[in-house]
Structure 1
Amino acid sequence: MDDDTVSASRTLSGPPRWLDAQRIRAYASFVLLVNIGFFSLRVWYGWVKPLPNVSPPGWDFAVFWSASWLALHGPAVNAFDTALIEPIVLPLQNMLPTPFVTPWTYPPTFLLVMLPAALLPFGLSCLAYVLAWIAFALQACLRILPQLRARSWWLPVVAFPAVWAAGSAGQNSFLTFGLIGFGLACVDRRPWLAGILFGLLAIKPQLGLVIPVALLCGRHWRAFVSSALTVGALCALAGLLLGFATFARFVEALPAFNHFVIQYSDRWPRGISTVFGAARHFGVAIPSAYVLHAIVAALAASAVVWLWSMRASFELRASALVLATLLVPTYLMPYDLLLLGLPILWLVRDGGRNGWIRGDGVALVSAWISPIVIYTPGDWAAAAYAPVIVLALLLVVVRRYLAQRTVRAGEWAVIVEGAGHSSSH
């Protein structure tokens, strides 16, 4: 082996000594208590002893349920009318009218998914949908890391702050988590099914921007075709059941919401979890913030192109794709950081197989705890720091690929050299 190969093989070592099972349990137990404490405050001041503008659990699901109610009781396009939806949403959220409107800005494809929601009372509907989404996401976790079936592995999963952030809000993050997780798990062996799962991300299109790039670079033609057909079929079904006018209203609603986000981007409560949001939080002018975001997004997409074209290990390819998915859109919220769970699981699996590099543990723990920003005061805008964590984890993925490639190249050279010696004798 040459010096570079020896150095890389030494770099890939055992798990971090400071991150043993006992410490993991201790850290996870503490964070779990914090999660339970803040969730209890939501229940107490949102339901038991309501305080104005303290929303009980399910505040985002209130928007979904209200859109369903409007779609069931009139033309589905009414869901996009802020003047109609806010009188239904705000009482459910225990909110007084504020400049921060609560519009329905999702595509008709997601309205189709939520259409039956208002057939049940709000609380029961929220519980049924969120539990179903959580069960789907947990199955994806088990598919990625089967060791999670052991009781000792469940504590850090349950304590992951993004689980509580998405669950408390009643967000669809568990659904998108499961679609991406299962889709990537199927992409090599069941490409048509993977394409269907990716295509269903049309319910939240900004999370599917990088997936076609990865599929094309990885030469997963069947998954690419399947995803395109699924998007087309889902849009056609939504148009037939809800009316194709809903697509026109959705397109009209996007610029208004984008303008609203830009208007408040420098003082958004708890911050926007993107590079654009971080730049605006620190006072960067809007055009410069967009340029900075575009640079980082291009770098993230380039990492996906490189790793998928070079056929890196599945764990590293999948991790890079999810991390780029969090870096490319300009608007994400802390509950979207639930997707960080996917690269964390894949990197744990990859580390168990190929060894660890110093600093990997710090990056993984930082990513795991980062969604706790949902509990910080709104004035801190702490969610704006999340892109730093996401980018650091992407650098971990790239560094691991380079180290593994160097080791494997050295091992191949030794095999070739050994074969040469054998043939000469």
Structure 2
Amino acid sequence: MKITKAIESWITRERVRIFCILIVPMLLVLELVKTWSDPAHFGRFPYGHDFIAFWSAAQLAAEGRVEALYDPSVYFALQRERILSGGILPWFYPPTFLSAIYPLGRMGFAAAWAAFSVVGIGGLALAARPFLKGRDRLGWALLLGAPVIGVTLVQGQNGAIVAALFLGAFAARSAGRTWLAATLIAGLAIKPHVALLIPVALVAAGDWRLILRTALMTLAFAALPWALFGIESWKLALDHLDSTQLIFADQAPLVTMVTAYSGGVLMGLPFQVSAGLQTLSAAIAVLIVWRLWRARTIAPDLQLAGLMMAALLVPPYGFRYDMVVTLAATLLIVGRAERHGWLPGEKLAMAALWFLPLILPNIAHVTGLPAGFALLLLGLWSVWRRAVLHGRTPPPAGQRSPAA
């Protein structure tokens, strides 16, 4: 306890602000130096190692060759032309995501990466605005200066876009803009496994209007790739659904994953045991989200924080760049702590959730343990503890809670 207090006393607003200013630019500069220090790569665009897969897919879609996404001789060859580090990435995404990135196929790689990044970071800032309103600049610094944002930019991943859709949807719900909320939730069809707990939360809250409108918008979004690329796009995606198992066959990606199943595989556990751990993880997440959203006296910001903290505990497939969703949940807890006081050990827990995604692969390499999964459990426990101890906000007489 003394060690925890000593560490927390070191975590001051001034030091945190310095970290927020330095980390993302430092990661971008380090990636530039690392790339250009190799004479063979000097002068080449250094970012977007994962984005290469998105851009190559968008190119093929723009050319009307969606079937080539599943032809390694074509799709992998496009990636090899630009790859600087990492490996070739198979196409794992649903046609809804292909519809979203389709315009990028008409752009050069650097411009497409920049546009993709601006949409993600800008969308996240816009979605977070209602939650950060009235707070000082530190809240914005914690959001935009987080290490996971730097990771997302360097890799060219979609974590910020997913978090923006998540936050934006529930900000719209709180404002009574149900159709907008439904549209944004349906937009999560670009990465549906991250949104699996949203129906659980909405059913628990009895928000049937939003459920119905979300179902309608999801059907509309599912029809979009059909209109753009034909029904064959869905047939191909479903036929190749089993290809996602390839990600678990390679040890290298496992150290950057944050799920119970990947953690079990990383530790060398048998398939059945790893699958059992994932089932248990999902069951815990469902139970806690159900109880948080079923209660009528839990503060809405804590309900949302619990939902986002639990999002990556359900699917067996999830990486550290997906933890932008967890980052958003962390900021909701920090905001409540700033208003109502910190619980013992809470500041250290939030600091770990904010910073450690940067070095999760290093921790996994050294220890062989699933540090990312441990962080998710820490975050969900933090939400649950605060909800039980300090999260109750009784509604005015005669009114239901805003979470209802």
Structure 1 length normalisation: TM-score? 0.83
Spell out the pairing of 1:17-416 with structure 2 (5 A cutoff). Answer: 17-28=9-20, 31-32=23-24, 34-45=26-37, 49-50=40-41, 56-94=46-84, 101-147=88-134, 150-188=136-174, 189-258=176-245, 260-264=246-250, 266-268=251-253, 270-311=255-296, 312-373=298-359, 376=362, 379-380=365-366, 384-404=370-390
Matched positions, count? 386
Once the two structures are TM-superposed, the CA of residue 407 in structure 1 deviates from its matched residue by 9.6
Once the two structures are TM-superposed, the CA of residue 355 in structure 1 deviates from its matched residue by 2.6
Q: What is the distance in 1 between the residues matched to 2:355 and 2:368? A: 13
Per-residue displacement from partner, 1:301-338 (whole Å, max 9, x unpaired)?
Answer: 11000000003111110011111111111011121111
Once the two structures are TM-superposed, the CA of residue 62 in structure 1 deviates from its matched residue by 1.1
Query: Do the aligned partners of 1:202 and 1:231 also contact (CA within 8 Å) in 2?
Result: yes
Per-residue displacement from partner, 1:35-88 (whole Å, max 9, x unpaired)?
Answer: 245333344247x7528xx99311211111111111222332222322211110
Evaluate the alpha carbon distance shift between residue 372 and residue 274 of structure 1 in structure 2; reply closer, same or farther with a 3 A threshold: same
Query: Do the aligned partners of 2:96 and 2:190 also contact (CA within 8 Å) in 1?
Result: yes
Evaluate the alpha carbon distance shift between residue 42 and residue 374 of structure 1 in structure 2; reply closer, same or farther with a 3 A threshold: farther
Query: Do the aligned partners of 2:127 and 2:168 also contact (CA within 8 Å) in 1?
Result: yes
Query: Do the aligned partners of 1:183 and 1:194 also contact (CA within 8 Å) in 2?
Result: yes
Which amino acid letter does the alignment assign opposite residue 332 of structure 1? G
Q: What is the distance in 2 between the residues matched to 1:37 and 1:128? A: 19
Secondary structure of 1:59's aligned partner: coil
Evaluate the alpha carbon distance shift between residue 277 and residue 269 of structure 1 in structure 2; reply closer, same or farther with a 3 A threshold: closer
Rg larger in structure: 1
Q: What is the distance in 2 between the residues matched to 1:28 and 1:75? A: 43
Which segments of 5 or more consecutive residues in structure 2 lack a partner in the other structure? 1-7, 398-404
Q: What is the distance in 1 between the residues matched to 2:24 and 2:157? A: 20
Secondary structure of 1:116's aligned partner: helix
Q: What is the distance in 1 between the residues matched to 2:329 and 2:392? A: 22
Q: What is the distance in 2 between the residues matched to 1:252 and 1:353? A: 51
Q: What is the distance in 1 between the residues matched to 2:45 and 2:23? A: 22
Q: What is the distance in 2 between the residues matched to 1:39 and 1:105? A: 26
Q: What is the distance in 2 between the residues matched to 1:298 and 1:55? A: 43
Query: Do the aligned partners of 1:42 and 1:55 also contact (CA within 8 Å) in 2?
Result: no
Once the two structures are TM-superposed, the CA of residue 383 in structure 1 deviates from its matched residue by 8.7
Per-residue displacement from partner, 1:219-258 (whole Å, max 9, x unpaired)?
Answer: 1112111111111001112112111111111112220221
Which amino acid letter does the alignment assign opposite residue 290 of structure 1? A
Which amino acid letter does the alignment assign opposite residue 257 of structure 2? I
Q: What is the distance in 2 between the residues matched to 1:175 and 1:80? A: 25
Evaluate the alpha carbon distance shift between residue 398 and residue 95 of structure 1 in structure 2; reply closer, same or farther with a 3 A threshold: closer
Query: Do the aligned partners of 1:147 and 1:153 also contact (CA within 8 Å) in 2?
Result: no
Evaluate the alpha carbon distance shift between residue 95 and residue 355 of structure 1 in structure 2; reply closer, same or farther with a 3 A threshold: closer
Secondary structure of 2:240's aligned partner: helix
Secondary structure of 1:234's aligned partner: helix
Which segments of 5 or more consecutive residues in structure 1 lack a partner in the other structure? 1-15, 413-425
Once the two structures are TM-superposed, the CA of residue 192 in structure 1 deviates from its matched residue by 2.3
Which amino acid letter does the alignment assign opposite residue 204 of structure 1? K
Evaluate the alpha carbon distance shift between residue 284 and residue 110 of structure 1 in structure 2; reply closer, same or farther with a 3 A threshold: same
Which amino acid letter does the alignment assign opposite residue 17 of structure 2? R
Q: What is the distance in 2 between the residues matched to 1:373 and 1:133? A: 22
Structure 2 length normalisation: TM-score? 0.87
Secondary structure of 2:14's aligned partner: helix
Once the two structures are TM-superposed, the CA of residue 261 in structure 1 deviates from its matched residue by 2.2
After TM superposition, the structure 1 stretch with the greater mean CA deviation from structure 2, 101-110 or 287-296, is: 101-110
Once the two structures are TM-superposed, the CA of residue 399 in structure 1 deviates from its matched residue by 0.9
Evaluate the alpha carbon distance shift between residue 27 and residue 199 of structure 1 in structure 2; reply closer, same or farther with a 3 A threshold: same
Which amino acid letter does the alignment assign opposite residue 326 of structure 2? L
Query: Do the aligned partners of 2:139 and 2:331 also contact (CA within 8 Å) in 1?
Result: no
Task: Calculate the aligned-residue CA RMSD, in Å.
Answer: 2.7
Which amino acid letter does the alignment assign opposite residue 387 of structure 1? F
Evaluate the alpha carbon distance shift between residue 377 and residue 386 of structure 1 in structure 2; reply closer, same or farther with a 3 A threshold: closer
Q: What is the distance in 2 between the residues matched to 1:407 and 1:70? A: 52
Which amino acid letter does the alignment assign opposite residue 219 of structure 1? G
Evaluate the alpha carbon distance shift between residue 69 and residue 32 of structure 1 in structure 2; reply closer, same or farther with a 3 A threshold: closer
